Structure 1
Amino acid sequence: MSSLTLEPDTRDQVAAAVSGDGWIVACLCAAWCGTCSSYRAAFDGLAARHPDKTFVWIDVEDRADVVGDLDVDNFPTLLLQRGDAVAFFGTMLPDAGVADRLIQAQAGLSTDELSRQAVSTPERQAWQRECNLRTLMANADE
């Protein structure tokens, strides 16, 4: 399975895919970014290795209606979320092995531990308010 790409014609499909309590792994990139272009194949490879998770590729400029207010400092930026709990939001080395270890580590946490971590620091609390992909997509529809 490859990743989904958030586009106007796939918006409903992506919204349905992220609506449950499963894991979402989103990569925020830009079409002009050479690193992002190179990383896309690795990201799709991660999706194939983790078929139980939803992988979404989001171009921050093309989908500014969804992610426009997110503070994306560099590319690629990954967003890991289970249900409504944002587990990670940040710049990632464009290395599939590093991303795979992050995904496995987060997916190995219990629901209670994810909930505790979600409020454990001001940064993580901000992730919950600002980075929830389901909320961002719903707000963009308004």
Structure 2
Amino acid sequence: MATVDITVDTFGSTVAENDTVLVDFWAAWCGPCRQFAPVFEAASAKHDDVVFAKVDTEAEQQLASMAGITSIPTLMAFRGGVLVFSQAGALPGNALEDLLTQVKGLDVDEVRRMAEEQAAQAAPEGGQQGGQPAEPSVDEAVESAADQLNALHGR
């Protein structure tokens, strides 16, 4: 599968509607980003079950800010709509393959359960209706992803 460009408008739906999403935050002027691009593209050709998304931090400054991007390239992995990995720096091909194996091996139900527990601890009482979490809307998914990114970056 080829890589897809995502924007602040498509980020939430991309993360919410796909099982595994790998996001590369990059810029055209960034040497390490240009070196990592073929590695990312080659991995996308091998893994049809993963969405490989790219965010041009120059064109999508709001999204880069929401994500707390301070260094590029930065790679983020989402599994079941939950941020499970974030790291600045280019990865060599074998490390990217290892990361993909680990992310795809995660139990989605367990990832969501852990995310719900963390959200319940952070949210005021009464955040769920009837004891069951509701399926998030796309707006809620964007907000949740932004909250996860902010928490990751200590905001």
Aligned match of 1:30: 27
Task: List structure 1 runs of 4+ shifted beyond 3 angstroms.
Answer: 14-19, 115-121, 125-128
Whether 1:97 and 2:115 are equivalent positions in the alignment is no
Question: Residues 73 and 58 (structure 1 numbering): CA distance in 2 closer, same or farther, change over 3 Å?
Answer: same
DSSP-derived class of the 1:62 partner = coil
- The question of whether the paired residues in 1 share the 8 Å contact of 2:68 and 2:149 is answered with no
Length-normalised TM-score, structure 1: 0.71
Instruction: Kindly state the Cα deviation for residue 21 of structure 1 after the two structures are TM-superposed.
Output: 3.9
Determine what percentage of the aligned residue pairs are the same residue: 23
Unmatched segments (≥5 aa) in structure 1: 133-142
Whether 1:62 and 2:26 are equivalent positions in the alignment is no
Structure-2 separation of matches of 1:81 and 1:53: 10
Identify which range, 62-71 or 27-36, moves more after superposition.
62-71
DSSP-derived class of the 2:17 partner = coil
Aligned match of 1:3: 3
Larger-Rg structure: 2
1:1-142 equivalences in 2 (<5 Å): 1-6=1-6, 17-115=14-112, 118=115, 129-131=147-149
Structure-1 separation of matches of 2:116 and 2:95: 24
Equivalences, count: 126
- The question of whether the paired residues in 2 share the 8 Å contact of 1:26 and 1:55 is answered with yes
Instruction: Kindly state the Cα deviation for residue 103 of structure 1 after the two structures are TM-superposed.
Output: 1.4
